[in-house]
Structure 1
Amino acid sequence: MTKKILLSVFLLPAAMAFAQQYGGMWIPTELNEKEMKDLGMKISAKDIFNPQKASIKDAVVQFNGGCTAEIISPKGLVLTNHHCGFGQIQAHSTVENDLLSNGFWAKNMEQELPNPGVTVDFIADIKEVSNQILEGTDNLTEPELSKKINNNIEIYKNTQKIEPYQTISVKSMYYGNKYYAYTIETYKDVRLVGAPPQSIGKFGSDTDNWVWPRHTGDFSMFRIYADKNNKPAEYSKDNIPYVPKHYLPVSVKDKNENDFTFVFGFPGRTTEYLPAIAVEKIMKEIDPARIAVRDVALKTLDERMRADDATRIKYASKYASVANYWKKWIGEVEGLKKSNAVEKKVMYEGSLVSKNPEIKTTLDQLNKLYNDQAPFALNNAYYSEVIRNAETLMLANLYSNYITAVEAGRMDEKGTTAFKNRLTSFYKDYSAELDAKVTAKLLALYANKTAAQFLPAGFDKYKNEAQNIQTIEEISKNSIITGRAAVNGASLSTDVDKAFSNQDKLIKTLKKDPVYQLFTNIKETYMKTADPQFTSIQTKIDALQKTFMAQQMATDKDRKFFPDANSTLRVTYGKVKGSSPRDAVSYDYQTHLAGVIEKYVPGDYEFDVPKKLIDLYNKKDYGLYKDKTGDVPVGFTATNHTTGGNSGSPALDAYGNLVGLNFDRQWEGTMSDINYDPRFSRNIMVDTKYILFIIDKFADSKWLIDEMKVVK
């Protein structure tokens, strides 16, 4: 942090204190109900979350541990994003039957496709359990504090009476100042019902990702199945559609600017209460490092995917995953700068200190720790991203963990089977030749961007990218990890079982493998020169952040606090609204089908449009799905405070009817994970009219709409 900013922390007047804006990510049992009603909500907090009787929460599920989804019919029909179901759509696709390109629509329940391993989680109840979990923790420090809390959590969970199909998860809130227990019910038979072709579901793809105006029909449909008693069960042909306690009526009413909306889902992670110094480090050092690594990986993958359809299908889901946060981080950096996030934090900290001088000591300590950690944090960012995005090295990391577990006696038959299944799934969508090039380029970046103190001896030889490509290709060709060399008479990429037939020989061969040795050299250097220092300082930062959080809550009596997102069920609310993100630029809150046609580029991988959709547009065959303009609305924006994990979340109106499907944020506001700014922060939703229009008119699947309760 600059000297100027450091000095200004304590010179700014208290009058510059944080001004509370509506929004936030609220625990459903602690809703800001008065403000919601002031903004236009017509239902009560009990209608949203009630563990004693049916409420909206019974229609909202966590989809496959990451996204959100919602139930929209009495027969367990589930709506989520296309990008949330993308992995399942891809898994059912082949070059001959490309569901990604062609879409998929079951014409009856018998045609719905099973997805082994996919789950949905319902939240049956939420209770604050801070007193039980924090009992006996006064004056404890790490590692004793964590041990005591973990012990208290286990005691609490073991004393609760739950059904056999339920589990309890205890989550920390406010950096460990409070704890909440979640009773979870997991359903394991989830079948694919329908998905538009990616020319609709991913329309705009990379160019439009995180961008408004948006014209993407980002939705897919699944169905939950249960046993004959409506309880969770593994997949069986004898299972029947799940009957929900509540399902969402689907509204096709027109939307108007300033209409009240709320979004119900499982936001992944936010850090709204960091000190200014932390935000500055993210903006100037950490995010730029992550962006640089992914930029190299994406350009290399894209070049090959454009030239080869088989590679495109193999890498489609992975490419989208890598690109998602790459673009998000770019927007985050720009948004933090544009919204003066660091300066705002500085002002707020100044106002806190004026009310409570003890906070100055906490901030001084945090400033020192973040500056001490900075070189190690930067290396952590580069190292983590290189290992994650160079699949060859990521594979070596998996095998390294496997060997460690075997040698420590922690790898039983069940664990080995699970590991082999994971490998089989991975190699199915892996190109060793392509990733050799990715790895070569990322090693060059790592060698050139990383301080010498963090690099293995002799690592300078990897600074030349062109030379690397030859070197890594040779290493890759002679590696059993890449599947290009054999072990136990088989390739790991084609016959995992045979390759694992002699475990001792496999491990001995792995340890001599050139890819394994390259990875081990990088990892051991990182673990020696950076990780212990990074982790040690982070432990101290975490402890002080807990103190800082408690001090904020105790000092700022005018602010209503909500906990940072941590993948638990939350409610956020706001209004339908357009935006003016830049000088002389204004965006309407609604896009239409006409905009899809305006962006149409025949044959383009991002902006092609199916002929049938063009025909529907030309005929104006819109049915009840047009709005007051005479066109079909496609997407809309609002001021709901969302993040990753809210993908697929229901956007609801003042009465609790489904009006949209959350899928993205406006690029200028992606910094809302760190600094929510109502001037720029907009969530992006697919309009329910467009979803029903595609199902009915495009997919000829009105049987699905007949299941729903459509509010006209």
Structure 2
Amino acid sequence: MRKYLLLAALFLIHFSAAATEGMWLPHLLTNLNEKEMKGMGMKISAADIYSVNKGSLKDAIVSFGGFCTGEIISSQGLLLTNHHCGYSSIQKHSSVQNNYLENGFWSRNRGEELPNPGLFATFIVRIESVTKQALQGVTAQMTERERQSVIDKNLQTIRSGLKKETYQDVVIKPFFEGNQYFLFVTETYKDIRLVGAPPSSIGKFGADTDNWMWPRHTGDFSLFRIYAGKDNKPAEYSKDNVPLNPKHFLPISLDGVAENDFTMVFGFPGRTSEYLPSEALKLTVEGQDPAKVGMRDAALKVIDGFMRKDEQIKIQYAAKFASTANAWKKWIGEMQGVRSTGGIDRKLKYEERFRQLATPAQRSVLDSLNSLYKASAPFAVARDYYQELIRNVEMLDFADDAITMLQQPNAKEEYETLKQQYLEKMESLYKNYNNNVDREVATALLDIYFKEVPSNKIGGEAYQIWMETNKDGKTTATKMYSQSAFTSFEKLSAFFNRPFDTVSREVWTDPATRLLIGLRNGYVEHVSDPYSAFLPDMARLQRAYMQAQMDVLKGRRFYPDANSTLRITYGKVNGYTPRDAVEYGISTTLDGVMEKYKPGDYEFDVPEKLRTLYEQKDYGPYGAKGKMPVCFIASNHTTGGNSGSPALDAYGNLIGLNFDRTWEGTMSDINYDASICRNIMVDIRYVLFLIDKFAGAKHLVDEMKLVHPKRKKTSTQLRKKAA
């Protein structure tokens, strides 16, 4: 008994040291987190964060477009989110005459606010546990398919019996690998109008170079407004709609942040996998990440070389380069972070402690799960090599789309319609395609693919083509890019504007489709199908292992992995030391923007007006000690989907806007470590400064509620001291 008590105590010590870890469901804070949060400095209650009976912080948080988070910052429905979250909407409103991406956009009145068809903002009304109802009739003997079929029927029964308003929706999602289910009643507003955005030279300052990096100096924000019907309920766009009167909006603190200040981030994080076994973590950082990084590294080097020499190619490939580099850089940081913090060793020690407390059956679950990941590893790595090859060699991707179109069940009968849809899509893609660039990317990636992927996972068809071209990427690519119909849209259009029988017969002889089909057939037979065979048992064992962890480790508070539902995370404003002799502070200022300034550079140019404000030190009430704060970091546990999430102080006031993580901390999706995992936020004072002093849109600031909570705290402390 003493042995088990000691082990349990060690678990408690281990997890209290990582107190800032976790993405918590807000309706469970009272029992799980409130005491700790107050001990860390929070001044409000859990009921102030989540309540169904009164306005609370949750009523100011929205899922913005389903891909980001936004928050309400005025009584008139003014919504704040990231610039990169609003980027697509800003782009759609831009033209040569009104380039809002380059010059920014600021509405002077409600009449100038711009509608955005298809954009929406979703509030959470209430959250309920429906685990018992969802799992009714589920047995351990069921296959994964049978289990899911029963659950789906149960969820439909729950939805049909739920009492809600006609304008409300319901979402039910699994948590803890399907061991629990929660229901979310939501309200979605579809009239969202663009109010303001800084130019990209501010909103994307640092662009690809600074992405995932600290120190950061990006003013990553944009403003929208939610409109409702005259009854304040959700309504389709109408000129007669009125600004939303929210249940709650966030007051804004002008007091800034200091070391060790308590912070919260409230939002809709997308996806994490914190409870995987050690072999899964190894597979990620020692197998899959290196494979994907190696392929993208080669592709990016080729594209970068062309972009530096040719302005037209730079324009064509800028977005693709940024998209490719974003995940590439994240995976590198993930590998380095796990390595530098001993993440795999920590996971192994965790599992050893679990085994000491677990029953033989529970230990067997973990061992079997690790064995499955180990056995599936070669297939998982080969899958990533294949997917990166098809993704980054555009001609193969184009050919893949063509074959998919021709193999549809009714392709012959519906050929004219399918062909037209395909060609319309391809015409748009070819505008940003260069045959020479893609040929060099193919040369590099084919060499890597056929070197790193075992021949028994490539298949005979593709390997035959590889041998025909002397097992050389350049020879293979030269043949393909000189003879294929996919080298230009004109050739492609001529090829497909023929009878179906002719096209479907001759497409197999095109060198691009011939290689693609060889690769795809080999991939399906030797990689995808065998790998898919592992997945049902992986899902079953991961669910059992998740439940076993919760059963065995009674002293640990478990939070569910992110799944795009409303969560709150909390931590403190702290710097960090990523490696030997390097120490990062908590905040940056406008001084750093000017230090990075490169006239005319697409990443580091600075608008003239911002330079003038800096030279004159004209910061208004938003500066601090002669400086203009720009960004800060804290130990809040965030991920994709948290973009645009509010950073809140101990009183629930808005102090910043979450937009990124530090490079070394990108591993937080699979291996959070409070020593180096930091989220990056725009200081709200920089946002206000840019709206007021830079944009001249003080009317927007005037509708916000600005507060000074630290002044109030100081006054109280002085009175107590005097007494």
Aligned positions of 1:66-465 closer than 5 A: 66-94=67-95, 97-139=98-140, 140-307=142-309, 311-358=313-360, 359-405=362-408, 407=410, 434-455=437-458, 456-460=462-466, 461=469, 464-465=472-473
Which moved further from structure 2: 538-547 or 515-524? 515-524
Q: CA deviation at 1:433?
A: 5.9
Measured in 2, the distance between the counterparts of 1:133 and 1:356 equals: 27
What do the CA deviations read for 1:79-132 (whole angstroms, capped 9, x no partner)? 111222223333344566543332222333333333332222222221111111
Given the superposition, is the C-alpha separation of residues 509 and 266 from structure 1 closer, same or farther in structure 2, using an over 3 Å criterion? farther
Aligned-residue offset at 1:212: 1.2
1:663 is the counterpart of 2:664: no
C-alpha change, 1:469 and 1:170, in structure 2 (3 Å) is same
Q: CA deviation at 1:544?
A: 0.9
**Alpha-carbon distance between aligned partners in 2 of 1:114 and 1:605, rounded to the nearest angstrom:** 28
Partner of 1:689: 685
Q: 1:485 aligns with which of 472, 486, 491?
A: 491
Aligned-residue offset at 1:329: 0.8
Query: Contact 1:16–1:348 (CA<8 Å) still a contact in 2?
Result: no
Q: 1:578 aligns with which of 575, 584, 587?
A: 575
Q: Which amino acid aligns with 1:51?
A: V
Write the mapping of 1:462-541 to structure 2, written as runs, cut at 5 A: 464-475=472-483, 478-479=485-486, 483-485=489-491, 487=493, 515-541=512-538
Which of these two proteins has the greater Rg computed from alpha carbons? 2
Give the Cα–Cα distance (whole angstroms) in 1 for the partners of residues 684 and 377 of structure 2: 46
The CA deviation at 1:171 is: 0.9
Give the number of the structure whose residues are more often helix, by fraction: 2
Deviations 1:364-402 (A, max 9, x none): 212221121111010111122223333443344444444
Scaled by the length of structure 1, the TM-score of the pair is 0.89
CA shift at 1:635, angstroms? 0.5
CA contact (8 A) 1:448 1:463 kept: no
Shift of 1:270: 1.0
* TM-score when normalising by structure 2: 0.88
Matches within 5 A, 1:51-66: 51-66=52-67
Name the structure 2 match of 1:644. Answer: 640
- In structure 1, the gaps of 5 or more residues are 1-11, 493-498
The one-letter code of the counterpart of 1:447 is F
For 2:366 and 2:214, locate their aligned partners in 1 and report how far apart those are by CA, in whole Å: 37
The 10-residue stretch of structure 1 (437-446 or 415-424) with the greater mean CA deviation from structure 2: 415-424
Residue 29 in 1 paired to residue 36 in 2? no
User: What do the CA deviations read for 1:613-640 (whole angstroms, capped 9, x no partner)?
Assistant: 111111000000111x320110111111
Cα shift at 1:430: 5.2
Q: Name whichever of 690-699 and 422-431 sits farther off.
A: 422-431
What is residue 719 of structure 2 aligned with on the other side? Answer: none
Q: 1:230-250: CA deviations, max 9, x gaps?
A: 333444444433332222122
Q: Distance between the aligned counterparts of 1:451 and 1:521, measured in 2?
A: 15
| SS in structure 2 at match of 1:212 | coil
Q: In structure 1, give the amino acid aligned to 2:478.
A: Q
Counterpart of 1:707, as a letter, is E
Q: Is the 8 A contact 2:334 2:666 kept in 1?
A: yes
Specify the code of the residue in structure 2 equivalent to 1:47. D
Q: Which moved more, 1:449-458 or 1:260-269?
A: 449-458
Q: Measure the CA separation in 2 of the matches of 1:369 and 1:119.
A: 41
Cα distance change, pair 565–506 in 1 and its aligned pair in 2 (3 A): farther
Residue matched to 1:4: none
Could you tell me which amino acid in structure 2 is paired with residue 485 of structure 1? K
Shift, 1:545, TM fit:
1.0
Q: Which amino acid aligns with 1:255?
A: V
Worse overlay, 275-284 or 387-396: 387-396
Deviations 1:167-192 (A, max 9, x none): 32211111111011122322233333
* 1:201 Cα offset (Å): 1.5
Pairwise CA distance, 1:310: 5.4
Q: Which amino acid aligns with 2:185?
A: T
CA–CA distance in 2 between the matches of 1:417 and 1:148? Answer: 41
Q: CA deviation at 1:453?
A: 1.2
Amino acid at match of 2:656: G
Secondary structure, aligned partner of 1:19: helix
Structure 2: 5+ residue runs without aligned partners? 1-5, 709-723
Range with bigger deviation, 424-433 or 164-173:
424-433
Whichever residue aligns with residue 553 of structure 1, its letter is: M
- The answer to whether the 8 A contact 2:171-2:186 is kept is yes
Deviation at 1:700, TM superposition (A): 1.6
Deviation, 1:585, is 2.1
Whichever residue aligns with residue 454 of structure 1, its letter is: K
Say whether residues 1:631 and 2:639 are aligned partners.
Answer: no
Q: Does the 8 Å CA contact 1:16/1:347 hold for their aligned counterparts?
A: no
Bigger Cα displacement from structure 2, 685-694 vs 535-544: 535-544
**Deviation for aligned residue 1:197:** 2.0
The one-letter amino acid paired with 2:522 is T
Distance 1:369 1:584, change over 3 A: same
Alpha-carbon separation, structure 2, partners of 1:231 and 1:513: 56
Q: Relative to 1, partners in 2 of residues 1:607 and 1:27: Cα closer, same or farther, differing over 3 Å?
A: same
1:275-296 deviation digits (Å, cap 9, x = unpaired): 1111111111111111122223
Cα offset for 1:470?
2.9
CA-CA distance at 1:560 after TM superposition = 0.5
Tell me the residue number matched to 2:553.
556
- RMSD over equivalenced CA pairs, Å: 3.1
Equivalent AA in structure 2 for residue 668 of structure 1: E
**Counterparts of 1:236 and 1:700, CA distance in 2:** 28
1:599 aligns to 2:596 (yes or no): yes
Number of paired residues?
689
SS at match of 2:24: coil
Alpha-carbon deviation of 1:530? 0.7
- Aligned partner letter, 1:328: K
> Could you tell me whether the CA contact under 8 Å between 2:597 and 2:606 is conserved in 1?
yes
The one-letter code matched in structure 1 to 2:563 is: N
1:443 Cα shift? 3.2
Counting aligned pairs with the same residue, the percent is 49
In 2: Cα distance, 1:409 partner to 1:78 partner: 49
1:675 maps to: 671
Counterparts of 1:525 and 1:611, CA distance in 2? 56
State the Cα distance separating 1:577 from its structure 2 match.
1.1
| C-alpha distance in 1 between matches for 2:190 and 2:179 | 34
